[in-house]
Amino acid sequence: MSPTPAATPAPATAAATSPAPAMGRERRPRPGLSVSSARRSASKTLANAVLILLGLCFLIPLSWLVLASLDPEAGYTTELPKTFTLDNFAAVLTPELAFVPLLNSLLLSAGAAALTVVAAVLAAYPLSRYQLRFNKPFLYTVLFGTCLPITAIMVPVYSLFVQLNLLDSLPATTFFMAATFLPMAIWMTKNFMDSVPISLEEAAWMDGASSMKALAHVVVPLMRPGLAVVFIFVFIQAWGNFFVPFILLLSSGKQPAAVSIFRFFGQYGTVAYGQLAAFSILYSIPVILLYVLVSRGIGGSFAMAGAMKG
Amino acid sequence: MTAGTSTRPVRRPGTGPGHGNSGRTGSLWLKLLPLAPAIALLGIFLAGPIIFSVYGSFTNAALTGKNAKDPQFIGPENYADLFRDPNFPQSLWLTVLFVFASAIVGQNLLGLGTALLVNKATKAVAAVVSVCVVAAWVLPEIVAAFVAYAFFFREGTLNQLTATVGVAPVDWLFEHPMLAIILANIWRGTAFSMMVYQAALNDVPQEISESAMIDGAGGALRLWYITLPMIRRSIATNLMLITLQTLAVFTLIYVMTAGGPSRRSATLPVMAYEEAFRYSNIGYGTAIAVVMILIGAVFSVVYIRLLKEK
Amino acid sequence: MRGTRSTSVKSSLSLIAAGLLMLSGCSAGGGGGDAGAGDEATLRIVYQKSGEGSPLDTLMQDVKTQFEAENGNVTVQLEPVEGSDEDYATRLALSQRSPDTAPDVFYEDTFKVRSDVDAGYLLNLDPYLEQWPDWERFNDGAKAAGVADDGATYAVPLGTDTRVIWYNKNVLEAAGVEVPWAPKSWDDILAAARQIKESQPDVVPFNMYAGTGTGEGTVMQSFYELLYGTDSQLYNEDQQKWVVGSQGFVDSLSFLETLYDEELALTPAQALDPNIWQAVFGEYLPEDRMGGVVEGSYSPSFWQEGGMFEWADYGDVMGVAPFPTQNGQEPGAVSMSGGWTLAIGANSQNPDLAFEFLKTAMSQENLLKYTVDNSQIAVRSDIAEDSTYLESNPFVADVSEVVDVTHYRPATSDYPEISTAAQQATEAVITGERSPDEAAADYDAAVRDIVGADNVVEE
């Protein structure tokens, strides 16, 4: 079947069915498969080359991090260490330095991401599926909430947490973080949901399923790549966020890695670069793994086009 | 912003979702019920503090000193001061430049390009390069900032690279601070756009682009006339989200240049942070944040218009 | 839209809030409001934690152990804060805004004392200090840092620091400058620097920080050393007003201009790099590429074993000299001091216990260990004479000598902003954007803008 996504504007659909003449090209007979596959492999080679170059550009700045983490005398200059050592890693792999903060980060980030995704999917459904007068004002209000640098509202947020006696509580901080990413998440989720054809739900309604059932069994499975983007987005933002937990959590046993990283910054502006780099690598691995796992987990990978044949 | 209901579902009483303008409140409430968790989260944790912040911008509240004891309501004086502040126009311009160059042009186009290439390339290459791009994005903020600093500074990676091809070293952070932070932000943020576009392209039914290919539409034309219109909503949403995110970028700039030299990279978030936390003028700092919200609103309105145009 | 909506939203809001409260009811440990009920008491201690086993963390852990052993019914709750100095100040100020979260004892930067007294955060310690014999052993200069506008003392110094000239003997000797070097005026410094430049063109002769990049380092390690050595002031203590239109300000800027224009210091581009000080300690001085620099008394902590830039020979290669006044006028030398204190919350439920805790932290043994570990300058006479302290590095005696001529920053709540204005003036001058006169005029305008015309005094 080839459903026409609801969001597809008419011109595009027209172009899809009768493209060529409009573009001033003579309409040729359909080329054989071999030609197109040859062309395809040529373009594949080019795409590979460009991508590899891009990947290098993104990777090179990270070389400092890797080299410094192996260097007993690391500084700011990117240089091959005179002696390679794993001492930096050994030094940071202690419960107090690494495990507890990373576990806290995990609790905070996974909690916030799960909460956000659930709330966003529920909220996006009516916004995407019904045409209500209420939708627009609501969406715009939510949207303007997203421009706010969270740093700027931390003072009243602190007061609020004091009032509600929620300071130093991991769950409450998780809820707050979820709230801060929710506007973005609602926007993203609604957008992904808009591109899921409604015709599929119709079938479910015919069978007498409620809208919630249709959402759970039809829409959400189809939105998996989109939801994965939302989840990862929130998880990573929460994972690296410093200021929110710094202000709202008091005990150092509850602080996530984003805050405890300051243990590598000493008196008078000293920095233990080697350990900082080693810790940063450890700190980044879980998120990279998450990305790889999630992108694998949804119908092959992000990299596979057409994983979504409705 | 039409919700995607181009085809109207056949409605069975009491089962499927109805149409927006139903007269019975009961069913309207039922429809909006899924919004409750999101509204609750946003209401408690964001709306309250934001309203409080806006109020705070009309006071001379401070973190320390006499005004910390009993802040006075001073009306729009903070805003009047802000528009008289010689630093404000400069910060405003730098912010707009930063958002435009690093998000709207840099992250957006590079993200789209990468997503398209990933669709074309060999699976293994695509997966590895995706991880490289995402690696920059998953680094915790403070670490990414250090990595970017190490890359651009005088004896850093970039100058070491250019030296190998005989180019004299450039003091990027001093001579071109904006260029350095813009490039750093592109490096850091492209992954987000890439993921959004990958998810969006996955939603484009392959039959459509396939049939166009068979009809012989050239790659660029196909992209321009078919693919891009189909992911138009994703483009607009992505632009909006990365704009709002980039508006609030702070740590990266603060670590790399601290807004210097001579305020030549002091964007509004840097200015707001300095006023609120370094000089403890909470009221004034919040006023700057409110101005940032307005800027975000202006950008958002433009994107919404773009969405509506077609 | 409809009346029903708002009520249902409200009720769902309160439901969520109630749920949150239940969720966090067991874990919310922020408030210390119940302290003092019955015999059981809890003291909450907030301080900055940098690094595992950092000197301050060690001190607080030790004091907690000692204090709880002596007072069986008291629980000491340590709340270390991990973050930069500014982040720490933010967290502390936020916690002080509410009596529920205000700590009993906390670590407080000397230059925040006055403005935090204005804000009503700190307890007046005079009645307690009268009853504490050890207080007499604290040095007067350091005591002054805890005094507010009303003349009462609100904070007890943990330690202090000074700024002196650190010079590289190899470079000076190669240039024919006599070692030990003791410049008597600004001109002496310039003369030696020019001599170094002539003999060793690749060496940075004499560096003084400038610009906003190095932040507070620019004023403490450079600009104030100059300004406080002129006949002008930054702040008029008697009238409690900021000084504008001062000749000393212009002269100090002119000196920096000369230093940078004649290429006697680092390049302006380098000076504006926030991390340039690391290159100074880690590369320029150890590699004989810099003649001298004005830096803090804690410099040896970078070069010692286990420091950030270990350098085995630093004790033999480096020398120390007090920074001279402009023309050698009295008292002949000048230094700036910062430092940290312990203070007690104005609304502490247990002020007596809190002061007992502070006294334990300030005991001779505890403070000696902290002073040595943290490369501080002793503030207690019985520590200053202690051999452990005097032998902790080769320069202790030299950097302690200038305590007699040292100055503290005017710690009003406007200070941070004014400091930035001064840093901007130095930046405008070394980059050639403004002449010293113009930059000083800009500064004056900025100060008037920050504190209001009523709070400035023309010199």
pLDDT-derived band at C315, boundaries 50, 70, 90 = very high
Q: What is the average pLDDT score of chain B?
A: 81
**Angstrom distance (rounded) from CA A69 to CA C225:** 38
According to the model, what pLDDT value does residue A97 have?
A: 83
- Give pLDDT, residue C206: 97
Q: Please tell me which of B137-146, B230-239, B286-295, C446-455 the model is most confident about, judged by mean pLDDT.
A: C446-455
pLDDT value of residue B24? 41
Is the pLDDT at A253 greater than 90? The verdict is: no
The answer to which of A187-196, C102-111, C341-350 has the lowest mean pLDDT is A187-196
Q: How much is the pLDDT for A148?
A: 66
How far apart CA A263 and CA A270 sit, in angstroms, is 11
Whether the CB-CB separation of C218 and C209 falls below 8 Å is answered with: yes
The model's pLDDT over C370-397, given as tens digits with 9 standing for 90+, comes to 999 888 999 999 999 999 999 999 999 9
Q: In a 10 Å sphere around its CB, with 0-12 CB exposed, 13-18 middle and 19+ buried, how is residue B73 labelled? A: exposed
**A188 has a pLDDT exceeding 50:** yes
Residue written as token pair 């940032």: B292
So what's the pLDDT on residue B215? 58
CB A43 within 8 A of CB A37: no
CB contact under 8 A, A268 and C52: no
Give me the pLDDT at residue B107, please.
95
Q: Which residue has the higher pLDDT, C444 or C84?
A: C444
Which of C5, C45, C82, C95 would best serve as a mutation to test chain A binding (most A beta carbons within 10 A)?
Answer: C82
Partner-chain contact A198 B7, CB within 8 Å: yes
pLDDT score of C6: 41
Predicted local distance difference test score (pLDDT) of residue C176: 94
Quick one: pLDDT at residue A145?
65
Q: Where are the alpha helices (DSSP H) in C292-414?
A: 300-303, 314-317, 351-361, 364-373, 381-384, 387-390, 396-401
Whole-angstrom distance, CA of residue C27 vs CA of residue A84: 44
Residue B3 has pLDDT above 70, yes or no: no
Nearest-by-Cβ selection for C86 from B173, B175, B278 = B278
**Is C103 in the A-facing interface, judged by CB distances under 8 Å?**
no
Residue C69 to chain B, least CA–CA distance (Å): 36
Tell me if A219 sits within 8 A of B29, measured CB to CB: no
Instruction: Name residues 267-296 of chain C within 8 A of A (Cβ).
Output: 275, 277-278, 282, 296
Distance in angstroms (rounded) separating the CA atoms of residues A223 and A231: 12
Over residues C120-132, the pLDDT tens digits come to 999 999 999 999 9
Average pLDDT over chain C, rounded to an integer: 88
Q: Which residues of C touch B22 (CB under 8 A)?
A: none
pLDDT tens-digit readout, A10-23: 333 333 333 333 33
**Mean local confidence (pLDDT), A124-133:** 82
- Is residue B53 predicted with pLDDT exceeding 70? yes
Instruction: Give the dihedral sign, CA A74/A77/A78/A80.
Output: negative
Per the structure block, which two tokens stand in for A150?
């969270």
Rounded to 5 degrees, φ, ψ at C78 are -85, 130
Nearest to C416 among B41, B261, B278 (CB): B278
* Chain A interface includes C99 (CB < 8 A): no
C120 touches chain B (CB under 8 A): yes
Strands C241-244 and C155-157: unpaired
pLDDT over 80 at C34, yes or no:
no
User: What is the percent of chain C with per-residue pLDDT over 70, rounded to a whole number?
Assistant: 91
Query: Which residues of B are less than 8 Å from C416 in CB distance?
Result: 278-280
State how far Cα C383 lies from the chain centre.
Answer: 21
Q: Each residue of B125-149: b (16+ CB within 10 Å) or e?
A: bbbbbbbbbbbbbbbbbbbbbbbbb
Cβ burial, residue C115 (10 Å; 0-12/13-18/19+):
buried
Nearest CA in chain B to C429: B262
Q: How far apart are CA B138 and CA A235, in angstroms?
A: 9
Q: Which amino acid is at A22?
A: A
- The answer to whether B92 and B83 have CB atoms below 8 angstroms apart is no
Confidence of residue C19 (pLDDT cuts 50, 70, 90): low
Q: How far apart are CA C21 and CA A243, in angstroms?
A: 23
pLDDT for C454 equals 93
Task: Tell me which of B14-28, B92-106, B247-261 is least confident.
Answer: B14-28
Question: What is the DSSP secondary structure assignment for residue C80, as one 8-state letter?
Answer: E
For B90-143, the three-class secondary structure string (H helix, E strand, C coil) is: HHHHHHHHHHHHHHHHHHHHHHHHHHHHHHHCCHHHHHHHHHHHHHHHHCCHHH
Q: Do B248 and A150 touch (CB under 8 A)?
A: yes
Residue C79's φ and ψ, nearest 5 degrees, are: -125, 80
d(CA C291, CA C204): 6
What local confidence, expressed as pLDDT, does residue B8 receive? 36
C203 pLDDT above the threshold of 70: yes
CB A181 within 8 A of CB A116: yes
pLDDT of residue A304: 32
Buried b / exposed e along C74-113 (16+ C-beta atoms within 10 A): bebbbbbbbbeeebbbbbbbbbbbbebbbbbbbbbbbbbb
pLDDT of residue A12: 32
- Closest to A58 in 3D by CA, of B240, B153, B194: B194
By three-state DSSP, how is residue C371 classified?
Answer: helix
- Chain B residues whose CB is inside 8 A of the A233 CB are 192, 195
**Is the model's pLDDT at B13 over the cut of 70?**
no
**Range with lowest mean pLDDT among A13-17, B10-14, B64-68, C147-151:** A13-17
Per-residue model confidence as pLDDT tens digits over A295-308: 776 544 343 333 22
Residue A189 pLDDT grade (very low, low, confident, very high; cuts 50, 70, 90): confident
Comparing C259 with A146, which gets the higher pLDDT?
A: C259
pLDDT in tens, A266-280: 767 677 888 888 998
C220-231 burial code (b ≥16 CB/10 A, e <16):
bbbbbbbbbbbe
pLDDT given for residue B22 in this prediction: 38
CA distance C115 to chain B (A): 4
The per-residue pLDDT for range B111-166, each reduced to its tens digit, is: 999 998 888 888 888 888 988 898 888 888 888 888 898 899 877 788 888 888 88
CB B176 within 8 Å of CB B152: no
CA distances from A84 to A66, A93, A105, C307, C312 (A): 11, 18, 30, 20, 22
Judge whether residue B75 has pLDDT over 80: yes
Does A104 contact C at CB distance below 8 Å?
no
